[in-house]
């Protein structure tokens, strides 16, 4: 954690001023690796493995060892965030995932795929356009960065300051992957209680994050509050799919989410193999008639894609190794919360927020990619 972050923080629940007192126990280069942020009310937030943590109530790990180790005051009357139990289950999935896949998106074989993926999502044509998109932003926030591959790309391509907020151990992976960048700050927090002032950021991105909270719409409202008037925001949420896919998803998720992560990875292996074998067939079929009841259009379909989009998640991408492909299937079927939405539903949310300028970018049929501008 870089010391300068203190000037940008507005702490929950009250946004107390003056800024908390920064106590440093261990430093490495420009970063505080272990320390604490102590408020005037004697409430403290730990800095562990380079990351300040703002989790509260039962979302917060037991830090008694940290308190005793550093002689910090005891904390009473901890506030319990709404639906913390649900969110905690989702965190367990992602903390486990990011401990196993700390370098997801950073390996050279991932870069091309992910570069194209972001271009499509943001409605841009080339990676150079993508880099130019970030260049002039002053304050950028990534919500749910996971391994931090995109936070890193943004920080490397802007003259501004880049912040990343993840509720899970993804925060530690993101810090490790960006700690060398002088304009990058990672914190661990629930997006419903981010330690930043409202109307602060001029670009916010939440890619595949909001639908993993207890309530996607409330999550959108919470991050939108942090966007400056005239600022832009991108979010990607899962789209409600056809009946057969919905049925399979519900059935599989209800079973897999009860498994511990290791067993769930193993349980996903058959799906991953199915994806790989169908993908390697490279076969196509042409349907002259659509199947409206299942949401399948007429036309020529790659067989693996047809299966994947309409029946069961069986992801496979040759750019990834077997474990990473299997993780993508795990990422779909293990999180406790993974809501799906319709475009009309999302349009309704935007209307409620008073957003008039927005685009739905056609990045993939499983999701809704939205780029919006907050009215000035
Ligand atoms: C599917 S991953 C997406 C990661 C990354 N954006 C990507 O595209 O690879 C979802 C991420 O959102 C984070 N997340 C879920 N709920 C959150 C919340 N309430 N506050 C902050 N982060 C959250 C998870 O910890 C996880 O890292």
Closest-CA residue, ligand 1 atom 1, reads 208
Ligand 1 centroid – CA 166 distance (Å): 6
Residue 90 belongs to some domain of the structure: no
**89 lies in some domain:** no
Q: Are residues 195 and 107 in the same domain?
A: yes
Q: Residue 69 is encoded by which pair of tokens? A: 């180790």
Q: Which of 20, 49, 84 is the last residue of a domain?
A: 84
For residue 359, the enclosing domain spans 98-240+339-373
* Residue matched to tokens 């109530």: 57
**Same domain flag for 225 and 129:** yes
List, in sequence order, every beta strand (DSSP E) within the chain: 21-28, 31-38, 44-48, 51-52, 139-143, 161-166, 184-188, 201-207, 227-238, 284-287, 299-302, 357-361, 367-373
Classified as helix, coil or strand, 113 is helix
92 occurs within a structural domain? no
Name every residue whose Cβ is closer than 8 Å to that of residue 348 and which is 6 or more positions away in sequence: none
Most ligand 1 atoms within 8 A of CB, residue of 81, 91, 94 to mutate? 94
Is 91 contained in some domain? no
* Residue tagged 């130019």 (tokens): 132
Phi then psi for residue 241, to 5 deg, are: -100, -175
Residues 194 and 110 reside in one and the same domain: yes
Structural domains in the chain (count): 3
Kindly state whether residues 204 and 347 are assigned to the same domain: yes
Determine the residue of 102, 209, 324 to mutate for testing ligand 1's pocket, defined as the one with the most ligand atoms within 8 A of the Cβ atom.
209
Asked whether residue 194 falls in the same domain as residue 254, the answer is no
Q: In terms of domains, do 296 and 313 share one? A: yes
Cα 367 to chain centroid distance, Å, stands at 14
- Is residue 175 domain-shared with residue 277, that is, in the same domain? no
Spell out the per-residue pLDDT of the chain, length 376, in tens. Answer: 999 999 899 886 555 567 789 999 999 999 999 999 998 888 899 999 999 999 998 899 999 999 999 999 988 777 888 888 889 999 999 999 999 999 999 988 888 888 888 999 999 999 999 999 999 899 999 999 999 999 999 999 999 999 999 999 999 999 999 999 999 999 999 999 999 999 999 999 999 999 999 999 999 999 999 999 999 999 999 999 999 999 999 999 999 999 999 999 999 999 999 999 999 999 999 999 999 999 999 999 999 999 999 999 999 999 899 999 999 999 999 999 999 999 999 999 999 999 999 999 988 888 999 999 999 9
In angstroms, the CA 305 to CA 315 distance is 9
The CATH number assigned to the domain holding 182 equals 3.40.50.150
User: What torsion do the CA atoms of 279, 145, 96, 253 make, to the nearest 10 degrees?
Assistant: -50
Q: 27, 51, 84 — which closes off a domain?
A: 84
């Amino acid at each position: 954690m870089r010391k300068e972050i203190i000037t940008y923080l507005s702490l929950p629940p009250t946004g107390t001023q003056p800024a908390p007192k920064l106590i440093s126990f261990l430093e490495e280069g420009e970063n505080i690796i272990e320390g604490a942020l102590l408020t005037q009310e004697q409430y403290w937030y730990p800095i562990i493995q380079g990351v300040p943590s703002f989790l509260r109530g039962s979302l917060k790990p037991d830090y008694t060892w940290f308190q005793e180790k550093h002689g910090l005051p005891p904390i009473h009357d901890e506030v319990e965030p709404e639906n913390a139990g649900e969110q905690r289950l989702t965190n367990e999935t992602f903390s486990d995932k990011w401990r196993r896949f700390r370098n997801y998106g950073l390996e050279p074989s991932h870069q091309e795929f992910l570069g194209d993926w972001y271009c499509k999502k943001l409605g841009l044509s080339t990676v150079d356009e993508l880099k130019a998109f970030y260049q002039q932003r002053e304050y950028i926030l990534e919500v749910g960065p996971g391994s931090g591959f995109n936070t890193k790309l943004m920080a490397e391509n802007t003259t501004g300051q880049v912040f990343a907020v993840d509720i899970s151990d993804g925060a530690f992976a993101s810090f490790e992957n960006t700690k060398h960048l002088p304009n990058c700050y990672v914190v661990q927090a629930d997006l419903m209680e981010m330690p930043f002032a409202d109307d602060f950021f001029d670009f916010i991105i939440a890619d595949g994050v909001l639908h993993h909270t207890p309530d996607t719409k409330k999550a959108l409202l919470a991050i939108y509050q942090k966007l400056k008037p005239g600022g832009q925001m991108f979010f990607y949420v899962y789209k409600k799919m056809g009946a057969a896919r919905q049925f399979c998803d519900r059935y599989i998720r209800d079973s897999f989410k009860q498994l511990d992560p290791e067993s769930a990875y193993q349980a996903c292996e058959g799906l991953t193999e199915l994806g790989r074998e169908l993908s390697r067939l490279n076969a196509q079929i042409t349907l002259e008639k659509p199947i409206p009841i299942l949401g399948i259009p007429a036309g020529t379909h790659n067989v693996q894609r047809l299966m994947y989009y309409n029946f069961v998640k069986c992801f496979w991408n040759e750019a990834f190794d077997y474990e990473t492909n299997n993780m993508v299937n795990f990422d779909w079927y293990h999180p406790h919360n993974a809501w799906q939405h319709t475009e009309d539903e999302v349009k309704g949310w935007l209307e409620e927020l008073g957003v008039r300028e927005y685009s739905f970018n056609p990045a993939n049929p499983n999701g809704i990619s939205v780029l919006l501008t907050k009215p000035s």
